[in-house]
Amino acid sequence: MTRYSRGFVRDVALDSPVDPDRYPFSLPVVTHLASMDRLDLDPAVTFLVGDNGSGKSTLIEALATAVGFNAEGGSRSFRFASRSTESDLGDHLTVCWNRRPRTGFFLRAESFYNVATEIERLDEGSRELLRSYGGRSLHERSHGQSFLDLAHHRFGPNGLYVLDEPEAALSVHGCLAMIVRIRELLRQGCQFVVATHSPILLAVPGARILQIESDGTIEQVEYDQAEPVAVTRAFVNHPDRFLDRMFAKEV
């Protein structure tokens, strides 16, 4: 992939000292991050992958709050809170900036309903704000349609976009449409950091894929080595054989 810009966030590092016995600092991935000098991000697209519970969403949330986004999602001007569940990891991250973005957004799949509700509240029926999100309430679109509306109408040039499992609402075609939109935005000087389980989204050309292993180590891997890709491919190629092995473990 051509490097369209030098990115906004160059790397992040964990402040020390921290209490290793307290959540989230007790998570293996955070322990590993503490042992690193810094975690380098790609100037275009960085993906975080790992099994459920690996801590990738915790890292994404911490990065989002460290760069100034609302913990539940939205732009940097969003300051609502439905229920405070975020960790304080973001307070302990040091962000190394290359330069500041013109705009940005934190898309968090699990709390996007709350973001859509806040947009309606801020709009107060004027439709001025809604025009930035496609001109219709995001609640009047399907979950997947609202995600794509957001990417096409709210995401703009020279932006920093932090996405947590956007595939949660997207069909296969929706994931492909998201790749096309990411590609368009990269040409407009944007940077993406994305936590995902989607082997389709991981196919963004030239993206840096950082895989969180079971022991918390963070390793850069190629597309074919990424766990979502390898496991999905093994299943699709031989679903019966794959399921037979899984069911055999129940005996």
Write out pLDDT tens, residues 188-208.
999 999 999 999 999 999 999
Least confident of 129-138, 177-186, 192-201: 129-138
Per the domain annotation, does 133 fall within a domain? Answer: no
At 56-85, the pLDDT tens digits run 999 999 999 999 998 776 666 555 454 555
pLDDT at 70: 83
Q: Are the C-beta atoms of residues 4 and 42 closer than 8 Å to each other?
A: no
Per the domain annotation, does 4 fall within a domain? Answer: no
User: What single-letter DSSP state applies at residue 127?
Assistant: -
Q: Going by C-beta distance under 8 Å and a sequence separation of 6 or more, which residues neighbour residue 161?
A: 104, 105, 107, 155, 185, 190, 191, 192, 193
Per the domain annotation, does 20 fall within a domain? Answer: yes
Per the domain annotation, does 85 fall within a domain? Answer: yes
Query: The domain spanning residue 35 has which CATH number?
Result: 3.40.50
Domain region containing 218: 9-110+157-178+185-248
pLDDT at 2: 47
- At residue 2, what is the residue type? T
Instruction: Report the predicted TM-score, pTM, of the whole model to 2 decimal places.
Output: 0.86
| Number of domains observed in the structure of the chain | 1
Q: How confident is the model at residue 1 (pLDDT cuts 50, 70, 90)?
A: very low
The span from the CA of 230 to the CA of 88, in Å, is 33
